[in-house]
Structure 1
Amino acid sequence: MKRGQKPVILYFGDMDPSGWQMLEAIKQTLEDDMDLWGVEYQRVALTPEQIMSYELPHDPQAVKITDRRYRHYVERFGDLAVELDALHPQVLRQLAVEAIESHFDMDLFREQVAVEQLEQERLASIKQKILAEMNGLTSQTSQT
């Protein structure tokens, strides 16, 4: 959590009673069991809006009445149940990229990449000079 950065957990999961509750369970475990506070939690996928937007197939039979989360889930979402893998891999990738970039200072990242490139070039130059000096010393030693 250096430089005022707040850790973020991006969650991707099924849209069903267990999948919907999973992010809250992760949060509770990290806070209560591991004493990890000050973390931001974001559900990236799946959401009801994504299911409608991407016209994902859903299976009402997949919402199991035996799931202890069933009643609360059905009250909120009805019998909407969709597996995360119903999303096309490219869509899932794009959602992940957008979620990461929304929490990532791209300008700072580009600056750091440029600095790193300059440092690598400088180190390569120093290495070449050292190797040239060592080669010069080696050839002097072998001539004597």
Structure 2
Amino acid sequence: MADRRDGLFEIVKAMRPMTVRQVFYQATVAGLVEKTEAGYNKVQTDLVQMRRSGILPYDWLADSTRWQRKPRTFDSVEQALRDTAKFYRKSLWNDASAYVEVWLEKDALAGVVHPITDMYDVPLMVARGYASLSFLHGAAEYIGCLDVPTYIYHLGDFDPSGVNAGEKIEETLRELAPDAEIHFERLAVWPSQIMQWDLPTRPTKQSDTRAKNFGDVSVELDAIPPGRLRQLVEKAINRHLPQDEFRVLKAAEQSERQLLKALVGDLAGGANG
């Protein structure tokens, strides 16, 4: 058990943030546990104990399935301005020739992908498999108002439902925003990625009504190492916001943040005077 936990620690340390299921898949690749439900339970139990004992930092594992709504409040105008300066973000896409969204099948993986979409100011749309019509309508309504092409990158399981869910998202968005220029691309999982990266597979669920012509092998999105998943997303975004342009915009953001901080200082100085 100690050797297994040492191995799990090294996996999470190298690839954080990760979901528990991603850790499980990497553990099977490393030969730490068997690729069964019992193996998953071992990983899950080990990670709980490792966090509770202080061995594994809690923020190394991502969990986007539970969250809290709370309004932001301030003690003073000065505090509000300080927070504004601290969290100020420049809109990176105002002058871009494209609009980009990343759609994700699993909310559990949102914490893995969000560091990249957040850095590049790109919406992360968590569809939870088959997206609801209300969710799709809201997305299509916004896309339909844009004057630039929309590029949607979808991440989902390679199984009958996962593939079909992506197809339904594309189909419904085109239906609800018929005049918009929509480019839809599935980033993962592809059969070529399964072979090239030797991803852990599982049998296709024959109970799925779409399994008839799909094939015997399925792969969960979680099987892709988190670093590689983030690289896929970043590479797709950089097709539309190249790194040199990104650096210029981030430099402008930093300059404007310093200006806000100076205003806070002036306000504090005036109050003290």
CA drift of 1:34 comes to 5.0
Does structure 1 residue 119 correspond to structure 2 residue 256? yes
Provide the aligned length of Structure 1 versus Structure 2: 130
TM-score using structure 2 length: 0.41
Does structure 1 residue 33 correspond to structure 2 residue 176? yes
Indicate if the aligned counterparts of 1:30 and 1:37 stay in contact, CA closer than 8 A. Answer: no
Q: CA 1:104–1:63 in 2, change beyond 3 Å: closer, same or farther?
A: farther
Q: CA 1:106–1:45 in 2, change beyond 3 Å: closer, same or farther?
A: same
Which is worse superposed, 41-50 or 116-125?
Answer: 116-125
CA drift of 1:30 comes to 1.0
* 1:62 pairs with one of 198, 201, 204: 204
Which is worse superposed, 115-124 or 5-14?
Answer: 115-124
Match of residue 228 from structure 2: 91
Indicate if the aligned counterparts of 1:44 and 1:95 stay in contact, CA closer than 8 A. Answer: yes
Q: Which has the higher contact order (CA 8 A, sep 6+)?
A: 1
Q: Distance in 2 between matches of 1:51 and 1:80?
A: 10
Does structure 1 residue 51 correspond to structure 2 residue 194? yes
Q: Distance in 2 between matches of 1:85 and 1:127?
A: 44
Match of residue 110 from structure 1: 247
Q: Summarize deviations over 1:69-122 as a string: whole Å, max 9, x none.
A: 633x3xxxx433212222222222222222222332332222222112222223
TM-score using structure 1 length: 0.71
Kindly provide the amino acid, as one letter, of the partner of residue 21 in structure 1. Answer: N
Secondary structure at 2:152's aligned position in 1? strand
* 1:82 pairs with one of 171, 196, 219: 219
Larger radius of gyration: 1
Query: More helix by proportion, 1 or 2?
Result: 1
CA drift of 1:52 comes to 0.3
Match of residue 74 from structure 2: none
Secondary structure at 1:40's aligned position in 2? strand
Q: Summarize deviations over 1:23-77 as a string: whole Å, max 9, x none.
A: 2211111121354731221111111110001112333x41527523633x3xxxx
Gaps of 5+ in 1: 137-144
Kindly provide the amino acid, as one letter, of the partner of residue 54 in structure 1. Answer: W
> Which runs of at least 4 in structure 1 moved beyond 4 Å after TM superposition?
none
* 1:11 pairs with one of 154, 158, 174: 154
Indicate if the aligned counterparts of 2:161 and 2:208 stay in contact, CA closer than 8 A. Answer: no
Indicate if the aligned counterparts of 1:30 and 1:36 stay in contact, CA closer than 8 A. Answer: no
Q: Distance in 1 between matches of 2:271 and 2:221?
A: 58
Q: CA 1:31–1:125 in 2, change beyond 3 Å: closer, same or farther?
A: same
Indicate if the aligned counterparts of 1:63 and 1:80 stay in contact, CA closer than 8 A. Answer: no
What RMSD in Å do the two structures reach over aligned CA positions?
Answer: 2.7
